[in-house]
A and B are shown apart, each in its own frame.
Chain A
Amino acid sequence: ELKVEQNPLFLSMQEGKNYTIYCNYSTTSDRLYWYRQDPGKSLESLFVLLSNGAVKQEGRLMASLDTKARLSTLHITAAVHDLSATYFCAVENKLIFGTGTRLQVFP
């Protein structure tokens, strides 16, 4: 059974700081997705990582994938309040989601 674990589950960080969210999964997969969800809203696709070593960046967010370690990271650089949301990773194989990381950025 595929398991997808994210940590931390909750992250409170100050504006301007850097941090990394981790996504570990239990079975082989070449594809991983990151989504963002604002409170009370639907999910929005952030990144699609298709192969080992893939790295994608959009603004202050950068995602990477290490399929050998079964690990993806979402790095936040110089956080701003607008990044406050819940972030989910999802692994292919029917797209199983992690439990999410709720990020709060404060001044």
Chain B
Amino acid sequence: NAGVTQTPKFQVLKTGQSMTLQCAQDMNHEYMSWYRQDPGMGLRLIHYSVGAGITDQGEVPNGYNVSRSTTEDFPLRLLSAAPSQTSVYFCASSRNLAGLHANSPLHFGNGTRLTVT
């Protein structure tokens, strides 16, 4: 069982470059989300999706785009990287956050450590 798979594990970008962080889950989860983790600030929600074709903004969406064309994949795009985006990025998924599957916690990927110089 692969669970939530994130690639790459490490990435170094120059300011202004763009890139896509990949996230895939094989649990048929409807809900997927992206967080960034910075020292002393916990995890902050960037974007989330409640199902294929549906995305919404979280706490810190600026500078990031997402799409959800399939249930399995939820890529995060950095449009023009900035040093302030240096962070560890986690993708997570869950069956659902409401209704019948309320007992489902988030399953996290192993993270992508991004450095922007």
The one of B43, B90, B103, B108 that contacts A48, using a Cβ cutoff of 8 Å? B103
Q: B111 near A: Cβ within 8 Å?
A: yes
Q: A69 near B: Cβ within 8 Å?
A: no
The one of B40, B43, B104 that contacts A97, using a Cβ cutoff of 8 Å? B43
The interface of chain A, by Cβ under 8 A from chain B, is: 6, 9, 31, 33, 35, 41-45, 48, 50, 88, 90, 92, 94-100
Main SS of the interface on chain B?
Answer: loop
The one of A42, A44, A95, A98 that contacts B97, using a Cβ cutoff of 8 Å? A95
Report, nearest first, the 8 A-B pairs whose CB atoms are least far apart. Answer: A45-B105, A99-B42, A97-B43, A42-B108, A43-B108, A100-B42, A97-B42, A42-B110
B104, chain A: closest CB distance, angstroms: 8
Contact, CB under 8 Å: A99 / B110: no
Highest count of chain B CB atoms <10 Å: which of A6, A50, A96, A98: A96
Q: B58 near A: Cβ within 8 Å?
A: yes
The interface of chain B, by Cβ under 8 A from chain A, is: 33, 35, 40-45, 48, 58-59, 90, 92, 97-98, 102-111
CA distance A98 to B44 in the complex (A): 9
Contact, CB under 8 Å: B102 / A31: yes
Write out the residue numbers on chain A whose beta carbons fall within 8 Å of the beta carbon of B41: 99
A45, chain B: closest CB distance, angstroms: 4
CA distance A41 to B102 in the complex (A): 26
Q: List 17 A-B pairs, Cβ < 8 Å.
A: A31-B102, A33-B105, A35-B106, A42-B108, A42-B111, A48-B105, A50-B103, A90-B43, A90-B106, A92-B97, A92-B98, A94-B45, A95-B33, A97-B35, A97-B42, A97-B45, A99-B42
A11, chain B: closest CB distance, angstroms: 15
Write out the residue numbers on chain B whose beta carbons fall within 8 Å of the beta carbon of A96: 45, 59
CA distance A33 to B107 in the complex (A): 12
Chain A residue, CB-CB nearest to B44: A97
Chain B residue, CB-CB nearest to A98: B42
